[in-house]
Structures are given as C-alpha cells and as structure tokens.
C-alpha cells in the first residue's frame, strides 16, 4: 500500500485505539471515515459505520438525518419524532478495496450487494450490522412525509488505494450502479463516486488541514480589553458571500469539516 496511506492508517489506528485489525480492515475504516465525513460534520468512530465480514459486498453504510448520524433503529425513530418538516436524509454506501486497480468484477459484486440490500427478501448473507441498517432504511421509508423532497438522497462510493482511470469498461460499471438506483425510484438524488488514492488523500487533507483565509475588511471597531485573557479584540465587517466562499466551503462547494 502507498506509504502515505499507511501512515494515515497508523494515525487512525492510534486515534481510535484500535488493535488486532488487518491493514485491509483499517483501510475500510479510513475510507469510511473520509467519505462519511463529507455528509456528517461531527466526530464518530468509523468502526460504527463499517460492515462486518458477512457484508454482502458492502463495506460501509451510514445514515444522516437532519445532520445527525443514525446508528440504530431507535435513533431513526426518535429523529422523525421532531415537529420539524422537510428533514434532510442522506444514505451512504461504500465498497473499499485495498488493491491498486479498479476491477469490473468487483464493481459488479458491489452493484449486486446494493441490489440485494433494497430487495424484498435478501438472498446474500447479511449479519447483524446489515440487518440493523435495513431496519433503519425501513424507518426512513416509513417516514417520507417528513423527509425533504419526500425521498432521501443516496451517495455511493467505491474506494481503492490505486489510481482511478476513467476507462470505458470501468466508468460503464459505475453508470450501471447509478442507473439501477435511479430506476428504483426510492431516492431524490443519486451520486456514485469512484475514489482512488489521490481523491481519498485529498479528502483526508481537507478533514485535517488548518483553515486560513484572506478576507477584505470593510470596517472594524475595537472592543474594550477583558483582562487578563483578552488584552485586545475587534469586531470586523466583511462580505458574507466572500466569507462563505473563502472560509467555510471547499473547492467542491461542501462545508469544510475542519471549520465545523
């Protein structure tokens, strides 16, 4: 595996005090942490959103309802007990391969796992994690009157430690996954994203970088000192649009995790 990725896996292992996991399992934790953090801005243990060995060709499943990470069926029920209408609901699926290439057969297995997850009766092996995820999904579908656009959004990520090249056979395999999910008519929005080493490293850098921005200061006023901790401070006036673009959003238009 790439040396920088190996170092990041070690950092994750130490941060969450993992022990006894293989490199491939740590890579699943790492990728799930990176991609799910695009949709949930709080701290979480990636082990809680990573499937077990009986994963039916799915390596990660997460549900974000109104900004909260939902881990149990009861959590989902409570989330919809609010009086708030139009709750944003995002469902995230991942498949993670520690190999150096994107393989059509493995992508096809992922597609099969997704198809089986949404079927009436699952034919593939499903452990407790997958059964719990299916129960949460049923709560969501039973509460669509409170869901924004009356349907959730689904985000699918296929991650490897190699380099993604948009070859026709590979890109076509991802298009099949997208088309299959759209044809279900379960989701308002469907995103299918292949993630190679470069994309994953960029996500991790965005999560951990120090945030700096230059803003044009239109006006300011000094505030009296509050000794001993605050000897001097100011209130500044800046353009709101510029503040959001320069400080709060990344290059893809998503909120910066490091700020929130």
Predicted pLDDT of residue 220:
85
For residue 91, what are the CA distances in angstroms to 70, 94, 177, 199?
Answer: 10, 10, 15, 20
**Cβ atoms of residues 41 and 255 within 8 Å:** yes
pLDDT for 178 equals: 97
Residues contacting residue 56 through CB under 8 Å, at least 6 positions apart: 113, 116, 117, 122, 124, 125, 126, 130
Show the tokens assigned to 81. 């007990």
The pLDDT, as a whole number, for residue 177 is 96
This model's pTM is above 0.95: no
Q: How does pLDDT run across 92-145, given as a tens digit for each residue?
A: 999 999 888 899 999 999 999 999 999 887 788 788 999 999 999 999 999 999
* Length, in residues, of the chain: 260
Instruction: Report the pLDDT value the prediction gives residue 252, as an integer from 0 to 100.
Output: 67
């Amino acid at each position: 595996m790439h040396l920088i990725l190996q170092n990041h896996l070690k950092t994750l292992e130490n941060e969450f005090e993992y022990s006894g996991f293989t490199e491939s399992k740590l890579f699943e934790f790492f990728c799930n942490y990176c991609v799910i953090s695009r949709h949930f801005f709080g701290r979480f243990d990636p082990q809680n959103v990573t499937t077990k060995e009986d994963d039916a060709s799915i390596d990660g499943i997460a549900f974000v309802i109104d900004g909260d990470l939902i881990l149990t069926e009861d959590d989902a029920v409570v989330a919809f007990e609010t009086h708030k209408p139009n709750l944003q609901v995002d469902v995230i699926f991942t498949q993670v391969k520690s190999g150096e290439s994107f393989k059509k057969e493995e992508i096809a297995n992922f597609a099969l796992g997704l198809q089986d997850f949404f079927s009436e009766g699952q034919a593939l092996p499903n452990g407790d994690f997958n059964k719990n995820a299916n129960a949460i999904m049923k709560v969501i579908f039973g509460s669509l009157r409170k869901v924004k656009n009356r349907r959730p959004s689904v985000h699918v990520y296929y991650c490897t430690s190699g380099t993604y090249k948009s070859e026709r056979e590979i890109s076509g395999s991802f298009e099949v996954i997208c088309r299959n999910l759209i044809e279900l008519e379960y989701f308002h929005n469907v995103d299918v994203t292949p993630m190679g080493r470069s994309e994953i490293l960029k996500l991790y850098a965005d999560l951990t970088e120090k945030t700096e921005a230059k803003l044009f200061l239109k006006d300011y006023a000094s505030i009296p000192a509050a000794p001993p901790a605050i000897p001097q401070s100011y209130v500044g006036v800046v353009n709101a649009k510029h503040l959001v673009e320069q400080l709060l959003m990344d290059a893809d238009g998503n909120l910066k995790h490091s700020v929130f």
